[in-house]
Amino acid sequence: MDDELTVDFRKQTSAHDVVTVIATRPLTDNENWTVMEKDSFVVFRDGLSHTL
């Protein structure tokens, strides 16, 4: 976990964008990660999640 890698999303996005990272496990230990329940279905639109 957390190999001290960084991604500067400012180079790819604007202040109006929402960035969402989806991973199979937490990538860092100093940020909050939301666990998605097994067999759940979540839709992402404009970077925001919507549970159906």
pLDDT single digits (tens) 1-31: 767 778 888 888 998 988 888 888 888 888 8
The token pair that represents 41 in the structure block: 């279905």
pTM: 0.59
Angle at 40 between CA 44 and CA 47, to 5 degrees: 10
37: pLDDT confidence band, cut at 50, 70 and 90?
confident
The token pair that represents 4 in the structure block: 């001290």
Q: Note the pLDDT of residue 51.
A: 74
